[in-house]
Amino acid sequence: MKKIITGLLALFIMGNMMPEVIAQQKQATISFDELTHDFGTFKEEDGNVTCTFSFINTGSIPLVINRVTASCGCTAPAWSREPIIPGGGGFVKATYNPKNRPGKFSKSLTVFSNASKKTVVLAIKGEVIPKVRTVEDIYPYQIGDVRFKSNHLAFVRINHGEKKTIQMQIINTSKESQTIKFDYTAKYLVIKAVPETLKPQQKGYIEATYDAGLINDWGFVINRIKVLANGQAIGNNQLTVSATIVEDFTSMTAEELANAARIEFVDGKTYDFGKMAQSSKVEHDFVFKNTGKEKLILRKIKSSCGCTAVSPKDKVIEPGESSSIKAIFSSGTRKGRQNKSITVITNDPKNSRIILRISGEVNPPDTK
């Protein structure tokens, strides 16, 4: 009797386990022919290269690829979108873009599916022979018959009172000599071509000197400079010159920093006006206090949009005194969410550049 009971108990346990065992056996299985593809060596100018990773569902239920992610934006994946029946095959494609990516590369793709192994990592590699750069590649911007490396001379950051010089390469691609001159009125800029007259196919450079001691401005400053070739303004003949003029606080002593001006906004640096109609205005005063021991100077205040007028109550604020900056936003024909910014430049060493923000929703008129 004991043996019978033991046998029945064993059958009962096995019966309870069978569904779990069967469930474990009913799985999709993804089996790739290869996990790595080597493109070998190829030329950059040949463009995109593509390889296909083939696989078979060696499981017992349909296989579904949920997604495939690439390790780099230079690699674009594609894959079988329909469920793959047991014994059926599918693919994962990888397309690599070699443009501006010379040299060896190694990238990966991660395949996510309902297979017993949830993720599979595929790899591609190869080496891109760099494209032979043409004159047009090296000097992409053209004014007349003279080509420039850029149409923008960026001085980036300049301390107020500092003088800085930068250069940019140019080339005369014509069969005639070209005399390069510049038409501008900014006294703090000196721009010249070296040499001023370029012989046919001759290379040279533009030299620009920015004297931030001669400009009564702060923050981001931009100038448009006309380029003249043999006295003629041809086509799009403008160069952009930009600089961010900042105050140099590095020479201040610890005592001077401790006693410096301090700007502190009482009600924060953001204002949400909620909802407003088109062709209307909303005002807000950003109230602040000089909590430092020296005079606070508002060097410059500028809004990100002509739709926002800004005006300070005072430009010089004594220690312990409060003041405000009024912002007036005009909705005009705008609609939807609006986000505008106001840049404030001060002589506070810890807050020399402050961004104030005004935002809200502009509702168009009801057309019903």
Boundaries of CATH 2.60.40.10 in the chain?
30-129, 135-246, 254-363
User: What's the rounded mean pLDDT across residues 167-196?
Assistant: 94
Minimal CA–CA distance to 358: which of 276, 289, 298, 290? 276
Strands 353-363 and 336-346 come out as antiparallel
User: What's the rounded mean pLDDT across residues 190-207?
Assistant: 96
* The CATH number fitting domain 135-246, selected from 3.40.640.10, 2.60.40.10, 1.20.1530.20, 3.30.2130.10: 2.60.40.10
Could you tell me which residue, 7 or 167, shows the higher pLDDT? 167
Architecture of the domain spanning 254-363: Sandwich (2.60)
Q: Give the pLDDT score at 7.
A: 53
What does each C-alpha distance from 221 to 155, 218, 235, 244 come to in angstroms?
A: 10, 7, 25, 6
User: What's the rounded mean pLDDT across residues 105-127?
Assistant: 95
Report the range of poorest mean pLDDT among 14-18, 92-96, 210-214.
Answer: 14-18
| Lookup: tokens for 206 | 């533009």
Residues 45-62 have pLDDT tens digits of 999 999 999 999 999 999
Q: At residue 122, does pLDDT exceed 70?
A: yes
pLDDT band (50, 70, 90) for residue 348:
very high
pLDDT above 90 as % of the chain: 84
Q: At residue 262, does pLDDT exceed 60?
A: yes
DSSP annotation of 84 reads: B
Q: Give the pLDDT score at 22.
A: 44
Residue with the two structure tokens 């508002």: 298
pLDDT band (50, 70, 90) for residue 23:
very low
Q: How many beta carbons lie within 10 A of that of residue 180, not counting itself?
A: 24
- Whether cis (ω within 30° of 0) applies to the bond prior to 364 is no
Average pLDDT of every residue of the chain: 91
pLDDT band (50, 70, 90) for residue 25:
low
Q: Give the pLDDT score at 368.
A: 54
Q: At residue 279, does pLDDT exceed 60?
A: yes
Q: How far apart are CA 193 and CA 207, in angstroms?
A: 6
Q: Give the pLDDT score at 19.
A: 47
Q: Give the pLDDT score at 143.
A: 86
Q: At residue 6, does pLDDT exceed 80?
A: no
207 CB-near residues (< 8 Å, 6+ apart): 165, 166, 167, 191, 192, 193, 194
* The CATH number fitting domain 30-129, selected from 2.60.40.10, 1.10.10.10, 3.40.50.2000, 3.30.300.30: 2.60.40.10
Q: At residue 10, does pLDDT exceed 70?
A: no
- Whether cis (ω within 30° of 0) applies to the bond prior to 195 is yes
Q: Give the pLDDT score at 18.
A: 46
DSSP annotation of 115 reads: B
User: What's the rounded mean pLDDT across residues 317-323?
Assistant: 97
User: What's the rounded mean pLDDT across residues 292-315?
Assistant: 94
Contact between 286 and 322 under an 8 Å Cβ cutoff? The reply is no
Q: At residue 209, does pLDDT exceed 80?
A: yes
pLDDT band (50, 70, 90) for residue 14:
low
